[in-house]
Amino acid sequence: MILEQIDENLLKIANESDVVLKDIYEKIDDVCFYNSNRILSAFIENNVSYSDFADMNGYGSYDSGRDKLEAIFATILGCEDALVRPQIMSGTNALYLTLSALLQHGDTMISLSGAPYDSLQEMIGISGESSQSLKAHGVSYEQIDLVDNDFDDDKIVERLKKNDVKLVEIQRSKGYSSRLSLTLSKLERIITKIREVNKDVIIMVDNCYGELVEKKEPGHIGADIVVGSLMKNLGGGIAPTGGYIAGRKDLIFMCAERLTAPGIGKDLGANFNMNNTFFKGVFMAPNAVKNALKSAVFSAYMLEKLGFNNVSPRYNEERTDIIQTLELGTEENLVKFTQAIQNSSPIDSFVATMPAPMPGYPHDEVMAAGTFTSGSTIELSADAPVVAPYTLYIQGGLTLEYSKLSILFALTNVLKK
């Protein structure tokens, strides 16, 4: 059994952690309760019924379940409307769908949070030579870098005074970068400033890993369109695939027409008998996020107590996403750590992790994903681009108990030498 194999000193620190982390865990519980209220209320307001779980095939006409699911996502995210579909196969797909629907030849987009997430680089045309990139379709890209982990307000305001920018993109979570993730209060400050000088620019937020971590979502503070993955927070560890886009009704209409066809928009599309699973996923999402957050806090605490440097965020730092990073310095350490997490996972625990190319990503990746849903990162997982400074990104955990066992077992093996 695993518990017997865990190093005794580690167990002792873990037991102490329950006392030290009590207040932090309580704050996480409070956010979960608050967000659960919003979600249960949305289910009741939308009259979700057993009949909404009916399996629709073919064109999926008149699927009330699909419509109600999208209404619930809109409410949760503080938006007018949403598109939540298994045909949107991931967060990356949702981001590309949004950008390609909203940007036309001659338009300019600006990233306000520095270089965008790795899987966006080729779609924008920052790298690669795809004939389907935004750049190939005549869209210009600019970037304003963060300063001290925060927006460069002056530069952003100055640039947006001229009304020649169609869309700005903000990435809430750090992605594979070493910066801090951007809290909702920072997002709110910059969105307010943007609106003072520019009424028209579309404000888009890549919300991946951020959903339900705070009491508000980007839609509540003025974002026009918000995008994410169902293999992460809002899938609740239950959705088997998918992505979402939520936002202003007119913008969602454009994304829907881009996904299906002009004239069809949101009205068609079979959900492959997954309505029940999507509803259940989003219903369980506050709890999944709560457990993922506690797992991240617990991991940070253990790593700090064991003397690991470069743990971010620190266990007692404010969080706006479920990501925990650990800088490991060498490829060997990175692979070793990932291997230990893989060996302590419920699925494929016997598998060897190795750096390998991943579609859409510029560097080789090494990933521990011993998960029920392939590649799911709301389940306990650890991944990294194999590039200096060899930072490991740890996230997820469906229950704190399972995370504790896995992390302690993994740490035991890492420290064994």
Where do contacts with ligand PLP occur on this chain (CB under 6 A)? 90-92, 117, 119, 171, 173, 175, 206, 208-209, 229, 231
Output 121 or 333, the one with its CB closest to ligand PLP. 121
Least distance from C-beta 412 to ligand PLP, angstroms? 29
The amino acid that residue 239 corresponds to is A
Least distance from C-beta 245 to ligand PLP, angstroms? 12
Output 173 or 406, the one with its CB closest to ligand PLP. 173
Nearest residue to ligand PLP, scored by beta-carbon proximity: 91
Pair 346, 409: CB distance under 8 Å: no
Least distance from C-beta 282 to ligand PLP, angstroms? 16
Output 93 or 413, the one with its CB closest to ligand PLP. 93
Output 119 or 275, the one with its CB closest to ligand PLP. 119
Least distance from C-beta 273 to ligand PLP, angstroms? 22
178-206: b (≥16 Cβ within 10 Å) or e? ebbbbbbebbbebbebbeeebeebbbbbb
Q: Which two tokens stand for residue 191?
A: 């969105």
Least distance from C-beta 240 to ligand PLP, angstroms? 13
Least distance from C-beta 171 to ligand PLP, angstroms? 5
Query: Taking Cα atoms as reference points, which of 158, 161, 174, 165 lies closest to residue 142?
Result: 165
Q: How far apart are CA 162 and CA 134, in angstroms?
A: 22
Output 209 or 315, the one with its CB closest to ligand PLP. 209
Output 384 or 408, the one with its CB closest to ligand PLP. 384
Q: How far apart are CA 49 and CA 267, in angstroms?
A: 20
> Residue 256, Cα to own-chain centre: how many angstroms?
21
Output 28 or 208, the one with its CB closest to ligand PLP. 208
Q: How far apart are CA 396 and CA 290, in angstroms?
A: 10
Residues in a beta bridge with 109:
141, 167
Least distance from C-beta 241 to ligand PLP, angstroms? 9
The amino acid that residue 43 corresponds to is F
Least distance from C-beta 414 to ligand PLP, angstroms? 25
98-129: b (≥16 Cβ within 10 Å) or e? bbbbbbeeebbbbbbbbbbbbbbbbbbbbeee
Least distance from C-beta 162 to ligand PLP, angstroms? 28
Least distance from C-beta 213 to ligand PLP, angstroms? 13
Output 90 or 345, the one with its CB closest to ligand PLP. 90
Output 367 or 407, the one with its CB closest to ligand PLP. 367
Q: Give the number of other Cβ atoms within 10 Å of residue 356's Cβ.
A: 10
Crossing angle for the helix pair 64-76 and 22-45, to the nearest 10 degrees: 140
DSSP string, 108-161: EEEESSSSPPHHHHHHHTSSS--TTSTTTTT-EEEE---BTTB--HHHHHHHHH
Would you mind telling me the total number of residues written for the chain in this entry?
A: 417
Output 65 or 243, the one with its CB closest to ligand PLP. 243
Using CA atoms, how far residue 391 sits from 209, 312, 415, in Å, is 18, 10, 18
Using CA atoms, how far residue 314 sits from 180, 296, 309, 318, 328, in Å, is 11, 10, 10, 9, 15
Q: Please report which helix (H) or strand (E) contains residue 225, including its range.
A: strand 225-229
